[in-house]
Amino acid sequence: MWTEESTNAVQKIVTTLSVFCIVFLIRAWWNWQTAGLGLKSIPSKGSLGWPIVGESLSVRRCSGDISFEGWLRERIQKYGTMCKSHLFLKPSILMTTTEEVKFVFDDPHKQMRNGAPESLKRIFGSTSIFSLEGEDHRHVYKILNDSILMPELKKKTAEFNRIMRHSLSSWDGQTLDILKPMQTMIFKLMTFNFFGIPWEGEIADRIASLLYTVVLGPTSLPFYFPGTDFYKAMNAKTRVTELVVPIIRELRSAETGRSSKYARSAEKFPYQNLFNIKFNGGKEMISDTGVCDILLSPILSGGQGPGTVVALAIFHLTKNPSMLQKAQAEVDRVRKQKEELGEADLSVSDLKDLKYLTQVYNEVLRISTIVPGVGRVATTDIHFNGHVIPKGWFMLAPFVLIHMDPELYPEPSKFNPDRFETPPNPGKFLPFGRGYRHCVGRDFTKLVVVMTLYHILSNFTWDVVSCSGKVQYVPFVKMIGDFQLSIKSRTHLL
Ligand code: HEM
């Protein structure tokens, strides 16, 4: 039986508990918002957003009409250029001016480590370039970088031309969204480039289809539960490794004298030096899986970029018919010159004759900064411009703001390849970053995108069937929604 007395007692307990909960939540909220304040002079302005998730959800919503650049500008207006936030599960500082971005890239006092998300590091592996720091990183970076700059790529353009022609050979008469076939082509081009895997073969097809699943993982939360993108990506990566490790084993033994079908006859495997790498101050010999992870990481990180740039270039040219005409005229002129010389393939030296197409390429990279910013984590308290960035805090350098600065690029939202009539100023054009983690795929991307655009423009015309024109901005720019073209061969026009 409930008496008045017992009802009152229950009411008192409920009220006390409610007050306790409210005080606890306010305290937790306050601690959250002021984490580090008082102890450290981190920028006092900004918002840490919601407990645990911080502002991650709000930044992930940037797509379509809400641009990442708009999201950043709103914060800069409210809190100033260097402000705090909470992103990717870490208290963070947004470093938004050119000087602040440069500081993050250059890390002049070696006080930062790579801020790649946990999921990416777990999927790509402990020897992937994104997980390595210091001396180990420098070693691997040099081998990857040296082997994929223009002088090395020159040797492969004949094969690249063949892959491109083969990939485009079925386009005539089709209605398609070109992003997917472009990405499949680039994955095959990269597995050929890094492992010497024949692109026409069954292994290349299987790897390309698995890579689509692997690349879903790095931006998901690292929860290894069946059904999650992270789980699927981890398993797909294991299957790719199972396919690639026997090839690595064969290449390693080819180095010791035996020939390998992947080493392309007399040509030396360009990553031979990786087999001699020793990590942890020369104590640890690298395994075949370790080499596999080193060579897979550029494919996994960069594989989607070039295809996205091709699709965006076609999108912008289609929206601007006079630019499309200009690009087409340039391509026809170069094609005619080459026919007169009896040359079918496009080579690295032809890039200088494709000046307008190169301007289109640069303008796509500026207006749609594919990687909108990079992140680092402070490994010690960092003193910068009167602030102390506490150890463990994440620093985000969103260089997309530099590309959209009206003082550097008048009318920045307008697609205008003519602004690159003179080559871009490296300090103000950073699509591939800069410093000791400067993108190793920068030459590869330029060559492959300009070559692919050349092949598309010289072979096809198209009508737009449907186009949502939507773009996702974070964590990487990519086209989302429909962009269907009805494609016809131009042979009858030439
Ligand atoms: C549109 C295409 C691409 C864009 C916009 C792009 C952009 C970038 C940026 C901004 C970085 C610097 C990251 C940092 O400082 O933390 C980077 C790093 C890197 N990129 Fe690219 N990339 C592209 C394509 C590629 C391709 C095709 C490859 C491989 C062939 C590649 C391989 C890499 C690697 C391995 C790194 C890591 C360097 C390191 O951490 O030391 N990227 N990329």
pLDDT digits (tens, 9 = 90+) for 80-112: 999 989 888 888 999 999 999 999 999 999 999
283-303: per-residue pLDDT in tens? 778 899 999 999 999 999 898
377-393: per-residue pLDDT in tens? 999 999 998 889 999 99
**Helix, strand, coil % in the chain, rounded to nearest 5:** 50, 15, 35
Strands (E), 75-180: 82-87, 90-95, 112-114, 175-177
6-53: per-residue pLDDT in tens? 777 778 888 888 888 777 777 666 566 555 555 557 777 888 888 777
Pick the residue whose CA is nearest to atom 5 on ligand 1: 370
Amino acid identity for residue 494 in this structure: L
pLDDT at 493 (0 to 100): 46
Is any ligand 1 atom within 6 A of the Cβ of residue 305? Answer: yes
Which residue positions form the known binding site for heme? 439
Pick the residue whose CA is nearest to atom 19 on ligand 1: 439
Q: Is the pLDDT of residue 267 over 60?
A: no
- Whole-number Å distance between alpha carbons of 431 and 434: 9
Per-residue confidence band for 328, with pLDDT thresholds at 50, 70 and 90 = very high
Q: ipTM of this predicted complex?
A: 0.99
For residue 214, the SS3 value is helix
Q: Is the pLDDT of residue 228 over 80?
A: yes
E strand or H helix that includes residue 202: helix 202-214
- Whole-number Å distance between alpha carbons of 451 and 457: 10
- Whole-number Å distance between alpha carbons of 22 and 258: 72
Pick the residue whose CA is nearest to atom 35 on ligand 1: 298
Atom of ligand 1 nearest to the CA of 449: 1
Pick the residue whose CA is nearest to atom 21 on ligand 1: 439
- Whole-number Å distance between alpha carbons of 238 and 225: 16
- Whole-number Å distance between alpha carbons of 360 and 446: 11
What's the gap in Å between 77 CA and the centre of ligand 1? Answer: 30
For residue 475, the SS3 value is coil
Quick one: angle between helices 134-146 and 288-302, nearest 10? Answer: 70
What's the gap in Å between 439 CA and the centre of ligand 1? Answer: 4
DSSP state of 447: H
Q: Is the pLDDT of residue 170 over 60?
A: yes
Is any ligand 1 atom within 6 A of the Cβ of residue 375? Answer: no
What tokens were used for 479? 């086209």
* Contact between residue 263 and residue 254 where contact means Cβ atoms under 8 Å apart: yes
pLDDT at 260 (0 to 100): 56
Q: Is the pLDDT of residue 494 over 50?
A: no
What's the gap in Å between 437 CA and the centre of ligand 1? Answer: 8
- Whole-number Å distance between alpha carbons of 301 and 398: 18
pLDDT at 290 (0 to 100): 93
Q: Phi/psi zone of residue 196: left (φ > 0), alpha (ψ -120 to 50 degrees), beta?
A: left
Collect all residues with Cβ–Cβ distance below 8 Å to 27 and sequence separation of at least 6. none
Q: Is the pLDDT of residue 273 over 60?
A: yes
Atom of ligand 1 nearest to the CA of 186: 27
Atom of ligand 1 nearest to the CA of 369: 5
- Whole-number Å distance between alpha carbons of 193 and 385: 44
Quick one: angle between helices 202-214 and 229-255, nearest 10? Answer: 140
Is any ligand 1 atom within 6 A of the Cβ of residue 302? Answer: yes
Q: Is the pLDDT of residue 266 over 50?
A: no
Give 282's Cβ-side CA count (13 Å radius).
Answer: 0
* Distance separating the N- and C-terminal Cα atoms of the chain: 96
Collect all residues with Cβ–Cβ distance below 8 Å to 118 and sequence separation of at least 6. 222
What tokens were used for 168? 């485009």
Q: Is the pLDDT of residue 404 over 90?
A: yes
What's the gap in Å between 135 CA and the centre of ligand 1? Answer: 19
Per-residue confidence band for 200, with pLDDT thresholds at 50, 70 and 90 = confident
Collect all residues with Cβ–Cβ distance below 8 Å to 478 and sequence separation of at least 6. 179, 304, 308, 471, 472
pLDDT at 409 (0 to 100): 96
Per-residue confidence band for 344, with pLDDT thresholds at 50, 70 and 90 = confident
Q: Is the pLDDT of residue 257 over 60?
A: no
The burial class, CB within 10 Å (0-12 / 13-18 / 19+), for 36 is: middle
CA distances from 274 to 193, 255, 271, 280, 445 (A): 15, 11, 6, 15, 23
Is any ligand 1 atom within 6 A of the Cβ of residue 397? Answer: no
Pick the residue whose CA is nearest to atom 38 on ligand 1: 437
What's the gap in Å between 442 CA and the centre of ligand 1? Answer: 7
What's the gap in Å between 117 CA and the centre of ligand 1? Answer: 15
Q: What is the mean pLDDT of the chain?
A: 87
Collect all residues with Cβ–Cβ distance below 8 Å to 346 and sequence separation of at least 6. 157, 161, 334, 338, 451, 454, 455
Mean of the pLDDT values across residues 353-357?
97
- Whole-number Å distance between alpha carbons of 101 and 105: 6
Do you find a cis peptide bond into 475, omega within 30 degrees of 0? yes
Is any ligand 1 atom within 6 A of the Cβ of residue 117? Answer: no
CA distances from 389 to 51, 80, 377 (A): 20, 16, 10
CB atoms within 10 A of CB 449: 26
pLDDT at 377 (0 to 100): 96
Substitution site in 146, 152, 301 for ligand 1 pocket (most atoms within 8 Å of beta carbon) = 301
Is any ligand 1 atom within 6 A of the Cβ of residue 399? Answer: no
Q: Lowest-confidence range among 280-284, 300-304, 453-457?
A: 280-284
Share of the chain above pLDDT 90, in %: 59
Is any ligand 1 atom within 6 A of the Cβ of residue 194? Answer: no
Collect all residues with Cβ–Cβ distance below 8 Å to 450 and sequence separation of at least 6. 351, 354, 357, 358, 361
Pick the residue whose CA is nearest to atom 16 on ligand 1: 374
pLDDT at 47 (0 to 100): 82
CA distances from 370 to 52, 297, 307, 309, 470 (A): 27, 18, 11, 8, 14
**Residues, the chain:** 494
- Whole-number Å distance between alpha carbons of 212 and 325: 34
Quick one: angle between helices 179-195 and 305-319, nearest 10? Answer: 140
pLDDT at 429 (0 to 100): 96
What's the gap in Å between 398 CA and the centre of ligand 1? Answer: 15
DSSP state of 287: P
Q: Is the pLDDT of residue 274 over 90?
A: no
Q: Is the pLDDT of residue 405 over 90?
A: yes
What's the gap in Å between 493 CA and the centre of ligand 1? Answer: 39
pLDDT at 35 (0 to 100): 59
